[in-house]
Amino acid sequence: MKIIRPKKAYAGLPNDKLTVGVCQIAPIWFRRTETLEKITGVIETAADEGCQLVAFGEALVPGYPFWLERTDGAKFNDAKQKAMYARYLEEGVIIERGDLDKLCAIAKQRAISVYLGVMERAPDRGGHSLYCSLVFINKYGVIKSIHRKLHPTYEERLVWAQGDGHGLVVHDVGAFTVGGLNCYENWMPLARSALYAQGENLHVSVWPGGLHNTKDLPIFIAKESRSYVIAACGLMRTSDLPSDTPNRDEIVAAGAEIISNGGSTIVAPDGSFLVDPVTDEEALIVAEIDHAQVRGERQNLDLFGHYARPDVLKLHIDRTRQTGAVFKDN
């Protein structure tokens, strides 16, 4: 895997510095355990490179549902689509079962925080639907938040359920306050604002991959929030599909070799790229970011500070974990 390090561009105080990693890899598609093993190895590499935080793409475990657009995924009551979904559901991540325990142990052992996109099979919602969830594991190996994507996008709605606001929280990592959103949630101004209001100054956006998603939006978010912005993308080529992938021949025949070309990057609070978006290859971007640059850029715009007008505009956020049934015994 290629290691990419941008030049250092800002000089602040030692305590202002944080080394972050952005990992762009392909999953072992439809294979939860093997993908988690691959991710564990990359976390080790990121720690060896000095990273204190590493971020991975959306739905990386066990992979994004790329089959939908290549196999007539919207065909109703179709046996093939039911079989694909059944396999996808079986490979989903059940956090309560301990599926992420090894990752948590590595995070604790190497003192590194992790943002990871998973397809969560949630027992608290019956266990037969999947949620596109962004999991934050702190450097002590503790899962501190599980953010379920508020609204699946386009064909995702065929296989993903709607999430809630429970995971709209931020975390302290070194000098920074870090929050994250899944893919097209990053286009939702109120979702972004929910994180800004909590003091976010390092924004993690995770994507299945695609330069069209990351060549402009991270720049806008950085300029809007005056924060560092990470775009962590997945990668998928037909050559990455395991030989026993269901309907592999049809998926391969229906399109080009590159299914998702990546586009991972890091943008500074002034909207400049620390490293240009990386495409078509697996890579680990390693960069030292500096909180002093955040403070400098907030001098003329701080959305929930000196530039706020709570007497006129105010946001109300429901962070209740939603459930379809409330049981009262006795």
Report the catalytic residues: 58, 149, 183
Distance CA 78, CA 68 (A): 12
Of the candidates 115, 112, 181, 165, the one whose C-alpha atom is nearest the C-alpha of residue 144 is 115
- 111 dihedral zone (left: phi>0; alpha: psi -120 to 50; beta): left
Look up residue 124 and give its two tokens.
Answer: 């608290």
Residue-wise burial string across 106-145, b where 16 or more C-beta atoms lie within 10 A, e elsewhere: bbeebebbbbbbbbbbbeebeeeebbbbbbbbbbebebeb
Distance CA 160, CA 2 (A): 32
Those residues whose C-beta lies under 8 Å from the C-beta of residue 59, and which sit 6 or more positions away, are: 65, 117, 118, 119, 132, 208, 234
Cα dihedral 76, 82, 84, 90 in deg (nearest 10): 140
Q: Do the Cβ atoms of 8 and 289 come closer than 8 Å?
A: no
Those residues whose C-beta lies under 8 Å from the C-beta of residue 314, and which sit 6 or more positions away, are: none
Surface-to-core class of residue 234, CB atoms within 10 Å of its CB (0-12 exposed, 13-18 middle, 19+ buried)? buried
Q: How far is CA 83 from the centre of its chain?
A: 27
Residue-wise burial string across 60-83, b where 16 or more C-beta atoms lie within 10 A, e elsewhere: bbbbbbbbbebbebeeeeeeebee
Place of tokens 């925080």: 113
Distance CA 233, CA 229 (A): 13
Helical pair 189-196 and 217-225, crossing angle rounded to 10 deg? 40
